[in-house]
Amino acid sequence: MSTMPEVNPARLLTSIADFAAIGATPAGGVNRQALSVEDRTARRLLAERAFARGFTVFQDEAANLFLRRDGRDATLPPLLIGSHLDSQPTGGRYDGALGTLSAFEVLEALADAGVETDRAIEVVAFTNEEGSRFSPGCMGSMAFAGAGNLSDWRRARATDGALLADELAATLQALPEARMRPIGHAISAFVELHIEQGPVLEREDVPIGVVTAVQGTKWLEIAFSGEAAHAGTTPLEFRKDPMGAAAAAIARIQGDIMPADPAARLTVGRITAEPGSINVIPSRVSFTVDIRHPDAAALAAMDRRVREECEAAGARWGCETAIELRVDMAPGRFAPEVTAAIEETCRALAIRSRPMVSGAFHDALFVGRVAPAAMIFVPCRNGISHNEAEFVSDAHIIAGARILLGVALRLSAA
């Protein structure tokens, strides 16, 4: 005997407040870094709530945490929903936690209503998404998807000196009631609810973003080397001015690339001139370029364009140009069947949505390599994230959880 399942707003908001208390900072944020004592406390609280509802709790060797509500057919791979529980050192209470706790609310709502789904639904909290204590971020989801090498990462040291292998083992041991399972078990699909971490939904007053892709990212470091000389006594024809080269190159790439392609992102966040005196032509100017695009070919073209403009500007100003690629992350395109399920749910519930591309990495990027995946974004105030001031309105929290529940119902059907 089942009724129509409904999200319980009070329970979800209380749950978010409960978890925000674990690692709470005086400024209202959260310091719950991956595999820390606070992270273990949060994992235990979630596991205990799962046990209380009769769900099964699993861990894998990357300490990814799974909370399973069985379905009608145990032979079908489960639907996976969730996000992560770790935070930045001065993080907000919604980044990661909102998606994990909304997914757990979906399980509870289904249990409350006595709904039996065809497939099992599993809630996941992936390990170390933030990467602030141990590098790289998205470690748990990468290991789950067979990307990257957990054996190598085990030797990583935290800034506080802790060894990843030790912290992983201690985290797993802190939850002995959980069953160990092999990493990377089959799933039917993955849906991750997350805050947007950008300004678009709020400014357009749209409560739900249907995330169709995650941008690819490349980080370049450019250095022009010229010749330091006296600002007053050196005529133009004797100058080898790396500042001239840098300004020309940055102006060209910033002036052209984003205006020509709304999906492109290009940021110069850091620049340094040496020796850095008012009346000395610099000997060296270096800067960073962060380029992102949802399309791999377009991202490669941006990379070529940046290199060409820099080489040309360096040559024009008589400088040597050095370009290094620091980060190279391919774009991910989410599964149309999953984004379609999200859009249909929005229509069915009469909640406005818009398709969008994620500018930041997420666990779903990696899980999407082994299973159909997509994400649901909700607005956050002023686009602020990775910051104790991070804020999501109650209405948007509830709307997001309702969409996730609807999607879970659709995708757990055989």
Distance CA 362, CA 78 (A): 21
Among 111, 280, 312, 335, binds its own copies (CB under 8 A): 280
108 appears as a binding residue in the annotation: no
What are the E-state strand segments in 181-303?
A: 189-195, 208-214, 216-225, 229-230, 265-267, 271-274, 280-281, 284-293
Distances (CA, A) of 213 to 109, 282, 330, 356, 383: 29, 42, 11, 7, 19
| Residue placing its CB nearer to its own copies in the complex, 113 or 389 | 389
Instruction: Provide, rounded to whole angstroms, the least separation between the CB of residue 404 and its own copies.
Output: 21
Q: Which stretch binds its own copies (CB under 8 A): 14-22, 78-86, 127-135, 256-264?
A: 256-264
| Residue placing its CB nearer to its own copies in the complex, 310 or 408 | 310
Check binding of 290 to its own copies (CB under 8 A). yes
Distance CA 265, CA 80 (A): 31
Instruction: Provide, rounded to whole angstroms, the least separation between the CB of residue 14 and its own copies.
Output: 29
Count CB neighbours of 11 within 10 A.
Answer: 15
Binding mask 137-176 for its own copies (x = CB under 8 A): ----------------------------------------
Check binding of 231 to its own copies (CB under 8 A). yes
Q: In sequence order, what are the beta bridge partners of 288?
A: 221
Residue type, position 347, single letter: R
Name the strand (E) or helix (H) holding 406: helix 394-411
Spell 88-118 as b/e; 16+ CB within 10 A means b: bbebbbbbbbbbbbbbbbbbbbbebeebebe
Of 150, 199, 153, 146, give the one whose Cα is nearest residue 360: 199
Q: Which stretch binds its own copies (CB under 8 A): 26-34, 86-94, 143-151, 224-232?
A: 224-232
Count of residues in contact with its own copies, rule CB under 8 A: 57
362 appears as a binding residue in the annotation: no
Check binding of 370 to its own copies (CB under 8 A). no
Q: Which stretch binds its own copies (CB under 8 A): 24-32, 34-42, 230-238, 391-399?
A: 230-238
Check binding of 188 to its own copies (CB under 8 A). no
Instruction: Provide, rounded to whole angstroms, the least separation between the CB of residue 278 and its own copies.
Output: 4
Of 306, 312, 362, 302, give the one whose Cα is nearest residue 332: 362
Distance CA 307, CA 304 (A): 5
Of 376, 94, 42, 37, give the one whose Cα is nearest residue 211: 376
Among 1, 278, 297, 350, binds its own copies (CB under 8 A): 278
| Residue placing its CB nearer to its own copies in the complex, 105 or 388 | 388
Check binding of 135 to its own copies (CB under 8 A). no
Of 37, 41, 4, give the one whose Cα is nearest residue 19: 41
Among 37, 183, 271, 370, binds its own copies (CB under 8 A): 271
Distance CA 265, CA 359 (A): 8
185 appears as a binding residue in the annotation: no
Binding mask 309-328 for its own copies (x = CB under 8 A): -----------------x--
Check binding of 226 to its own copies (CB under 8 A). no
Q: Which residues bind to its own copies, rule: CB under 8 A? A: 196-200, 203, 215, 217, 219, 229-236, 238, 241, 243-244, 246-248, 250-252, 254-255, 258-259, 262, 265, 267-273, 276-282, 285, 288, 290, 292, 326, 358-360, 383, 385
Binding site membership for Zn(2+): which residues?
84, 95, 130, 194, 386
